[in-house]
Structure 1
Amino acid sequence: MSAAPYVCFSHGKESGPWGSKIAAMAEVARDRGLVVDSIDYRGMDDPRARVEKLVAHCAPLDRPLLLVGSSMGGHVAAAASARLPDVRGLFLLAPAFFMPGYEEHTPVPQAGRIAIVHGWRDDVVPPENSVRFAREYRAGLHMIDGDHRLTEQIYDINRFFNWFLDDVTGVRDR
């Protein structure tokens, strides 16, 4: 039997590694017996440097990967997925894709399953960007009544994250 999947979180530009959303999702993953970590990117504004840090952290791991990212962290997780072996899934919150002036930097993901949660009232990353990405890469898409931070929607996010984990791990909630 292979090792339990490793769930690695990537926070957004203005956030930290154990903010409220990541802490809540980490608890969901731990309740399933999954190994959880969150990378600290504070002080790193360049998304390419963040991708390099995530790849360096996850490349030596000998187990399936689940990458979770919020905003810029979603971009970072998707970009890293193309460079890491055995990425079983990407779970992305309001990912910073197709941003004006940076459209050509939107990554091409490589993952067994992709799910996106995005708020209709997001004034940082237009919701249409996630719709476009989901269409292009046949990702699951959950559009909810929320803003960019989605802090008021943690219950819904965890519900979608549970479903995602059911699909990619086969490990049911205990």
Structure 2
Amino acid sequence: MRGYIILSHGSDSGPDATKVSALAALAESLGWATLRPDYREDDLKGHAGSVDPRLARLAAAIAAAPVPPVLVGSSMGAFASGLASLDAEVAGLFLLALPAGIPGYPRPFAAARGVPTFLIHGYADDVCPVEGAFAFARSQGAPLLLVQDDHRLSDTLTDIEAAFRRFLETLA
């Protein structure tokens, strides 16, 4: 095993969603172990109401990991992954379609400093404005790949996979 990766899906999605499934398969082909928690029950509590239950579920997965994991998250999964990195040691953050905040949730997005981080965001994201990803990337000095895509990032999956492969290579 080269390392351990926890992939967190977005709201109104699931652990078998296209992006997290594709990234898990890629990571596994490179020798990484993966886990995809199922947050669907948490998501029934609404966007703001699902954050703390997601964080608890993610904290338990991190605590059970054999080594500090890489956290991968899409949208709400990215939001929870960043916040989780503030409370636990992680090996990296790979964040997609990052929301800068969740309406009704009191904390804005934040992530641990000094953790290797890579962001991907769509120019045409109408759910999570690209300005939030810009601001976070600038504040962390983190690379940000902007793609011609919307919030789902379904048209640029090949680009996402290539960036993820490169990111994992830098951690190995």
Structure 1 unmatched ranges of 5 or more? 170-174
Instruction: Show structure 1 runs of 4+ deviating over 4 A.
Output: 99-103
TM-score by length of 1: 0.89
Give the 5 Å matches for 1:119-130: 119-130=122-133
Residue 57 in structure 1 maps to residue 61 in structure 2? yes
Partner of 1:78: 82
In 2, distance between residues paired with 1:120 and 1:49? 30
Higher helix share: 2
| 2:82–2:111 contact (8 Å) kept in structure 1 | yes
Aligned residues: 166
Residue 94 in structure 1 maps to residue 97 in structure 2? yes
- What amino acid is the match of 1:161? F
Shift of 1:81: 1.1
Residue 153 in structure 1 maps to residue 140 in structure 2? no
In 2, distance between residues paired with 1:61 and 1:19? 22
Deviates more, 1:110-119 or 1:152-161: 110-119
Structure 2 unmatched ranges of 5 or more? 44-49
How large is the Cα RMSD of the aligned pairs? 1.6
1:105 to 104, 108, 113: 108
CA 1:88/1:111 → structure 2, altered by over 3 Å: closer, same or farther? farther
Deviates more, 1:67-76 or 1:103-112: 103-112
Residue 23 in structure 1 maps to residue 21 in structure 2? yes
- What amino acid is the match of 1:42? R
In 1, distance between residues paired with 2:114 and 2:39? 22
Partner of 1:47: 51
Q: Deviations over 1:35-71 (max 9, x none)?
A: 0110100021311110110001221323131000000
Instruction: State the identity %.
Output: 37
Shift of 1:107: 2.2
